[in-house]
A = this chain, B = another copy of it.
Amino acid sequence: MNEARPAGRRSSRVRGRKKAAFVQLPRRRLTNPYPPMEIVSADQIEEIHQASMQVLEEIGMNFLLPEAREILRQAGAEVENDGPRVRFDRALVQEAVAQAPSLVRTRARNPENDLTFGANHINFGAVGGPPNFSDLDRGRRPGTLEDLSNFIRLSQSLNICHLAASGAVEPLDIPPNVRHLEVGLVATRLSDKLRFGFALGGARARDHLEMGRIASGLTWEEYSEQPGLYTVINANSPLQYDIPMLEGMIEMARRKQLLVITPFTLAGAMAPVTMPGAVVQQNAEALAGIAFAQLVMPGTPVVYGGFTSNVDMKSGAPAFGTPEYAQATLIGAQLARRYRVPFRASNVNASNAPDGQSVYESAMSIWACVLGHTHFVMHGLGWLEGGLCASFEKFILDAEMLQMMAEFLKPPEIDAGSLALEAIRDVGPGGHFFSTPHTLERYEHAFYAPLLSDWRNFETWSEDGSLDATQRANRIWKQILADYERPPLDPAIDEELQAFVDRRTAEGGVSAD
């Protein structure tokens, strides 16, 4: 076999080349032109649907907030008198779910960053939620506002990251009562992409709505026409929505902001040990949440969130980016299509380091997301350790993987020029194509130019320090931060935001949970 690359070919050309500055794909909206992959049949989707309906009708769910139960009772759900349990007639669920829009357009601070969720659109968001961050220099540490700010800067600078990394890491140096205020402020100032709105409790949600409205410069009426925030509503699986999430959901739905309703159904722990069973439960919980949002405010934009994975039954450790996760993601996407609502899944892994495992588990996640027509790929950049850590190096590894996927999703153009018959004729047997007119006309933009990959030969790479991909990622995120430019923000709006945060801080922020 002589399939190895021509060994001598590349060193001389590369050796003299100045180290290129940070190169990335241009900003563009991303769609998947290929049909969605479907791994179960329509009949099997129907079986899952029917089982979910039975769960909601016969078992029901706990809605822990009395106000929420009252909304459900008025809509015709069966609410137990003294308990939190609510049972749903399937017609009620399906009629409510049918009111959710199948295509959602969100408004960002910069209209060029407006996004579409639904159809064959794909949007990549950054990691959200970890209490820790890590990088090669400092190791793993509790998150701070400065680290969060740097993740937001990276998300602003990288075109492949379609949303602000506004929840990339918990800034544990900021007291919980005012943390959401500080986060909203830096997210608005450092990025003009769609940002996350806090929905853990009504007070936080109201604060973030107010900050979102101020940043938009709109009236409440105008602001509620098109979502300018997204938030994530997690079910407290199995079969329960807790008080803070329901309060947040109500506030956000009343302003018609984007609700990503996501059960966290770990098969074997908070969900059945079989993946179809876990998906049945996910589906019941997601549909109940979506229906509830529509009962609060018909037409509230929602995304059906799939977050079904499994635990390692020997240790109880959660696993992510597994074959089971990929299958659950694809089935979840099929279900969301059945209900005509946009779908959310995630780029996840359970690795403790930005290493090969983090990459292959992420790759399995990303492929499942993209093949299934996932509209919102959350945790797309930077997630490690099953969500306990946000990694700066992983952010860059993921950016490269997502850019490669974006290129893969550009269908090949097939025409007389690209079929290249004349070039093949001109070169003939035994020649080479380096300097043909066909090549010279096209070579500059012919192929994907990587952000992170190093294609130099072994000798040149070794002379330059033998840096592996993670070490190079460390250099790249620093370079991106060094090159970062803050997006413009009307000084009057900036001032109004600051005044709001100052006032709410003086009031004591929100009460402790």
Contacts and interface: CB of A to CB of B under 8 A. Distances in A.
Interface string A422-453: 01110111111110001100111011110011
A3 B129 contact: yes
Contacts of A455: 312, 315, 317-319, 350
Nearest to A285: B429
A418 to B, nearest CB: 4
9 contacts: A3-B262, A5-B266, A5-B318, A13-B315, A51-B419, A238-B424, A275-B412, A310-B446, A315-B455
Contacts of A420: 272-274, 276-278, 280-281
Interface string A307-333: 100111111111110111011000100
Contact of A458 (B128, B167, B318, B385): B385
A363 B353 contact: no
A299 interface: no
A389 interface: yes
A234 B1 contact: yes
A276 B462 CA distance: 34
Nearest to A235: B429
Interface stretch (A57-65, A110-118, A221-229): A57-65
A458 to B, nearest CB: 5
A63 to B, nearest CB: 9
A140 interface: yes
A297 interface: no
Given A315-B17, A356-B397, A458-B389, A272 B2 contact: no
A22 B33 CA distance: 42
A321 to B, nearest CB: 9
Interface string A278-297: 10110010000000000000
How many A residues touch the partner, as a band?
35 or more
| The 5 A-B residue pairs with the shortest CB-CB distance in the complex, in nearest-first order | A277-B420, A363-B363, A4-B387, A272-B420, A323-B407
A66 B500 CA distance: 86
Interface stretch (A40-48, A94-102, A335-343): A40-48
A60 B411 CA distance: 29
A418 B277 contact: yes
A176 interface: no
Interface centre among A5, A350, A389 (most CB of B within 10 A): A5
Interface string A357-392: 111110110010001000000010000011111000
Contact of A4 (B129, B232, B239, B468): B129
A255 to B, nearest CB: 19
Given A48-B414, A428-B59, A444-B313, A272 B423 contact: yes
A369 to B, nearest CB: 12
Interface in A223-272: 232, 234, 236, 238-240, 262, 264, 266-272
Contact of A37 (B37, B47, B364): B37
Interface string A180-200: 000000000000000010001
Number of copies: 2
A350 to B, nearest CB: 5
Contacts of A421: 51, 54-55, 277, 280
A318 B7 CA distance: 10
Given A59-B424, A269-B432, A356-B356, 5 more contacts: A4-B386, A5-B318, A34-B37, A323-B448, A351-B469
A314 B468 CA distance: 21
Contact of A408 (B13, B327, B331, B430): B327
A273 B433 contact: yes
A9 interface: yes
Contacts of A413: 276
Nearest to A350: B455
B234 A58 contact: no
A404 interface: yes
A231 to B, nearest CB: 9
Contacts of A48: 414, 419
A411 to B, nearest CB: 6
A355 interface: yes
Contacts of A319: 447, 453, 455
